Chains A and B, each alone.
Chain A
Amino acid sequence: MKIDIKLNGQRKSFEVDPSEKVLDFLRRIGLKGVKKGCSTGDCGSCAIILDGKIVNSCMLFVGQIDGHTIETIEGLGTIEEPHPIQKAFVEEGAVQCGFCIPGMILAAKALLDKKPTPSITDIRTALSGNLCRCTGYVKIEKAVLKAAKMMRKK
C-alpha cells in the first residue's frame, strides 16, 4: 500500500508492506537513530514521537501510521545547532553507551513540548518506558531539567 506521512517535518509518500514494523521500516529508509533493543515494547530504544506522543515503533505496523506525523532523533536540531535537549544531555554527562539515548531524548521532548516546567515526578513518569543500563538515570533527569530551562528561555 501507499502511505503518506509527515516525517521529521517533511511530507513523504512510501510504497510499503503494511505489515512491516515501523521500527524496521524507519531503519530501512536510513533512520538508523531508531534502535532495536528488545522488539517487545519494553525498552524504549526504538521510541518515536507519533502525533506528539511517545510510542515504541516496534509495536506499530507501517499500515497504522498512514496520515500521521512522525518525529525521530534525526529530526531534532541541525548539524550546527543541536536541540536544547541534545545539548543538555551532552553537557550533563547523561550519555554513556548511547544506545538508549535517541529514545530517551524523544521521550523528554514529548514531555517538554507539552509541559515546559515539569516536576521530577513528571520527568520520571515520562521516561519510565525507556530503559538505560549505563547511567543510573541521575544525569538524564538533570539533563531534562536543564533542557526545560533552556527551552523556556528561548
Chain B
Amino acid sequence: MDKKKYVGRSIVRKDGEEKVKGSSIYTDDIILSGLLFAGVYRSNVESGKIIKLGIEKAKKVPGVKAVLTYKDIPGRNLVPVVFDDQPLLVEKRIRYYGEPIALIAAESYEAIEEAKDKIEIEVEKEPRVITIEESIKKKHIVNKRFSENIFQEYHIKRGGVKEAFQNADLIIKNKYSTNYQEHAYLETQSMVASHDLNGRFSIFGSMQCPFYVQEGVATILGIDLSRVTVNLMTTGGAFGGKEDVPSIVAEIAALLSYKTKKPVKYILSREEDISVMSKRHPAYIEYESAFSKNGALLGVKVNYYLDAGAYSTLTPIVLWRGVIHAIGPYTCDAVEINGYGMATNKVPCGAYRGFGTPQIIFAGESQMDIAAEKLGIDPVKIREINAFKKGDITATGQKLKDSIGIRDTIRVGKKEFKWSARKDKIEKFNAKNKYKKRGIGAASMFYGVGLGARGGPLQKGSALISISKDGSVQFAVGTTEMGQGMYTVLSQIAADYFGISVENVSPSRVTTEKVSDSGPTVASRATFISGNAIKLAAERLKSNLIKFMIKKGIVKKGSKIEFKNEKIYETGRFIIGFKELSEKAWLNRVKMIEASWYLPSMTTYNNKNGQGDAYVVYSYTTNFVEIEVDLVTYQTTVISLYSAEEFGKAINPTLAEGQIEGGTVQGIGYSLYEDMILEGGKILSNNFSTYLIPTIMDIGELKPIIVEKPFEEGPFGAKGMGEMPLMAIAPAIGNAIYSATKKRLFNLPLRSEDLYNEFKNK
C-alpha cells in the first residue's frame, strides 16, 4: 500500500492564489487582435410563424461586420443533445420567447444594439402552451414531432401496488409543484471562437463539457470534429447551467467567426443569460404513499411531470434521474412511478445540480413527515425505520451491496444537531414568543453517482499523464474545473499514486486536444471517473519504471516495490529517489507518458420494464434544520442547518465542505427566496434585483458533517458528492415550517405569501 500522503488532507487549492489576486483568466478577459463582439436578435413571442425577416438595413450599420440567419449555416442548423430537435436559429416556427433568430457580429456593443433595432420582422402569432396542465391537455402542439407534447416518458413498476394500498393503515395523497431555479453562476455564459487559415477552429470558454461544445461547433459548421479544439478557460461557476447550453453559445461565436474570418467573443449580459439559458425544470407531482401503523412504507404511486420548455435538450435524462430516485433512500416493495417530460412554449430547461431530483425529493420527504405526524412517530424515527440497509432493493430492483451510508447520516446528524434537545428548547421558545415561532425539520435522500444506465456511451473517462526528467508529473483529463476543486483533488490522487509531493503535480488546462472524449463533467462524476483514469495511467507509468529498474538490476523481479515519500522502496528498503529515477529513466528512453481508459462497472437497467441496476453506487445525505417564522411578515429565517453526507471517502475535506456549504445555500435559495416570475413565457425576473439569491445575511449557522464509508471501486474509496448538498434542503425547511406553524406548504419556493394565506384561510 502507498502511504497516503495527500488523500484525506485539506491542502489548499491549486488555483487559489491566482484567484485571490484576480489574475485568473476568464473568457471575457481574453484579448485578441481584430476581436469582434457577438449579439443575438431574439423572438418576442412565445409561439408563431416568421412571415418576413429583413436584415439588409441592419447589415449597413457602421461597425457591423455580419448579420446572419439560418440560411448562412454551412452545416446542420442544430444544437445536438439527445433527440436533436432544437435548431440554433429559427427557420420558420418560433417556439419560445427569446429564441435566436439572427446573429450579429460588430466592433462594438452599441453597433449590435443599433443593428437589432434595424432588423425588420413580421410574425404571425400562434396558440401557445404555458403550463404543464395546458401541455397535458394539448391546448396546442409545441412541436409536431412530439404529437402528445411528451418528449419522454418512463414507467417503473414493481410489486403488488394495489394490494399494498389495500392493506395499508394510512394512505397519504398530495399534489406538489415547484418553480424554476436559475443557476446564477456569477460569470455569465461566455465563449470566444477563432479560426486559422487552414479551417481549424479554436474555442475558448466557460463550460462543463468540452466534448459537447466540440460536437456543437462541428455540427453547425459542417466540419470534422478533429478540426475543432475546445479549450476550457477559468470557469466562473456552472452548477449544471454550463452542461448543454455552452454548445449554443459556442455555435453562435463560431458561426460568426466563420463568416467574418475574425475572432468573435460572445458574452451574455445577465438579463439575456437568465432569460434564455437553461434552468431547473418546474414540476408538478402527484404523490401517494401507503404506510403501516408502525411506520413502514408499504407502497408509493407517483405521477411526475416536468415542464421541459420548447425543446427536449436534456429532459430525457433529467426526468430519468428523478424517476429513479422518486421513492427516496427507503425500502419499499410496491412502487409505480410514471414520469413525463412535457413540452411548453417556454425557454428549454436543462441540467441543474440534482438533475430532476430535488423536485421529487421535496414531495417524497414532505410525505414522510405527514405520515410521521399522523402515525405519532418522530420524523427522524420514521426515516430510520425505512432507510436502506445492505441487501435492500431499490425501486428498480437493484440490490444494494456496498457503501450504504444513509443510516449513518441519520444517526450522526441527529446526534450532532441534538434533535431531541432542540425539540424541547423550541417548545419553550414557542411558548414564550407570540410572533416568532421556531421549528425543526429533517430530510433524507440518496444519489446515484455518475451517469448511470441512461448515460450509455458517455460512461467513460480518459487521462494522459507524463513524467518529466526532473520527476515532476503533469496530467490531463477530459472533465473540467469549474470552481469545485477538481484540479486539486485529482492532483492529490496523482501525488499519492506516485508517492510524490503534490507541489510536483500539475494539472493541464482542459482541452479536447489532450484526451479523448471522456463524457461530460456532470452527475458528480469527475472525482470518480477521472480519479480512476488517473489511477490506471499512473499504474502503467509505475510499471514502466519498475520494469526499467528490474532491467538495470536496481531491483529484483517479483519483489515488493513501493512509491512513497518521493522515494522508491524495495520490500521496505530505500532504493532510489523518484527524481533520480525519473532522470535515469529519461536518459534510457523509458516511456514516460501513458494514456488510460476507464470504464465504470456496467449497469443493467432495462428501459422497457424499468428494472435493473440504475447506477453503480449511491451517495447519501440527511439534513437537519432549525428555522424561525415571523408571524407578522410570514418570513422564514434559517437558524441552523446541519448536513450529514456520505460519499465514500473525502479526498479533500475542506473542498468537500465547500461543496456542502455552497450547495446548502443554493438549497436555501431554492426553498425560500428564488422565485421566477413570468408573464406568459417571458421571464420578468431576469436580474439580481428581481431574482433573489441568498446573501451572507441569509445563511444562519451551517454545519457540514462528512460521514465516510469507502467504496471499493472509487479512487481511494471516493464516490461523488457535488450535487447532493442542494437536493434535500427544501423539504427539510418545509417540514420545519410545519413544525413551527402547523401549516404545510406544497409549492416551491415556500413563499411568505402562501404561508400568510394558510393562516388567513383558517
Contact = CB atoms under 8 A, between A and B. Distances in A.
Contact of A134 (B267, B483, B697): B483
Interface residues of A, number: 51
Contact of B185 (A82, A97, A136, A139): A97
A97 B235 contact: yes
Interface residues of B, number: 56
A59 interface: no
B699 interface: yes
Contacts of B235: 97
Interface string B664-695: 11100000000000000000000111000101
B19 A98 contact: yes
Contact of B234 (A45, A98, A140): A98
Contact of A35 (B16, B26, B662, B702): B26
Interface in A64-105: 72-74, 76-77, 82, 86-87, 89-91, 93, 95-102, 105
Contacts of B238: 97
Interface stretch (B7-15, B147-155, B258-266): B7-15
Contact of B186 (A105, A128, A131): A131
B699 A131 contact: no
B662 A135 contact: yes
B748 interface: no
A99 B17 CA distance: 13
B661 A38 contact: no
Nearest to B641: A136
Given A73-B21, A90-B16, A96-B484, A128 B237 contact: no
A137 interface: yes
A40 interface: yes
Contact of A98 (B236, B239, B666, B689): B236
Contact of A38 (B21, B237, B267, B687): B687
B187 A95 contact: no
Given A40-B689, A99-B237, A100-B186, A137 B665 contact: yes
Contacts of A130: 695-696
B186 A45 contact: yes
Contacts of B688: 38, 40, 42-43, 131
Nearest to B267: A36
Given A93-B655, A134-B483, A128 B697 contact: yes
A38 B16 contact: no
B577 interface: no
Contact of B236 (A34, A76, A99, A128): A99
A93 B654 contact: yes
A37 B695 contact: no
Nearest to A143: B20
Residue from B26, B239, B484, B702 having most chain A Cβ neighbours under 10 A: B26
Nearest to B12: A90
Contact of A37 (B270, B664, B696): B270
Interface string A25-60: 000000011111111101101000000000000000
Contact of A138 (B10, B19, B702): B702
B688 to A, nearest CB: 4
B485 interface: yes
B557 to A, nearest CB: 45
Residue from B10, B16, B183, B663 having most chain A Cβ neighbours under 10 A: B16
B87 interface: no
Contact of A133 (B12, B21, B662): B662
B204 to A, nearest CB: 15
B24 A98 contact: yes
Contacts of A77: 21
Contact of A96 (B18, B23, B662): B662
A138 B661 contact: yes
Contacts of B633: none
Given A35-B186, A40-B270, A42-B688, A133 B693 contact: yes
Nearest to A83: B20
A33 B23 contact: yes
A97 B237 contact: yes
Given A43-B688, A131-B695, A105 B20 contact: yes
Interface string B688-721: 1100010111010010000000000000000000
Contacts of B192: none
Residue from B267, B657, B688 having most chain A Cβ neighbours under 10 A: B688
Residue from A36, A39, A87, A105 having most chain B Cβ neighbours under 10 A: A36
Contacts of B689: 40, 42
A125 B654 CA distance: 25
Contact of B21 (A36, A86, A97, A136): A86
Nearest to B10: A93
B28 interface: yes
A74 B16 CA distance: 15
A141 B23 CA distance: 22
Interface string B531-544: 00000000000000
Given A40-B689, A98-B483, A93 B21 contact: no
Interface in B284-326: none
A141 B696 contact: yes
B22 A32 contact: yes
A110 interface: no
Contacts of A39: 269-270
A134 B237 contact: yes
B665 A136 contact: yes
B424 interface: no
B184 interface: yes
Contacts of A62: none
A74 B22 contact: yes
Interface of B: 10, 12-13, 15-26, 28-29, 183-188, 234-239, 267, 269-270, 482-485, 654-655, 657-658, 660-666, 687-689, 693, 695-697, 699, 702
Q: Which 8 A-B pairs have the closest CB atoms?
A: A33-B22, A97-B483, A98-B19, A136-B661, A99-B236, A42-B688, A73-B22, A136-B665
Interface of A: 32-40, 42-43, 45, 72-74, 76-77, 82, 86-87, 89-91, 93, 95-102, 105, 123-125, 127-141
Given A42-B689, A133-B666, 16 more contacts: A33-B22, A37-B186, A89-B16, A96-B662, A97-B186, A97-B236, A127-B696, A130-B696, A131-B695, A133-B186, A133-B693, A136-B665, A136-B699, A138-B661, A139-B657, A140-B696
16 contacts: A36-B28, A86-B20, A93-B658, A98-B18, A99-B187, A128-B695, A131-B688, A133-B239, A133-B693, A135-B658, A136-B661, A136-B666, A137-B696, A138-B657, A138-B702, A139-B658
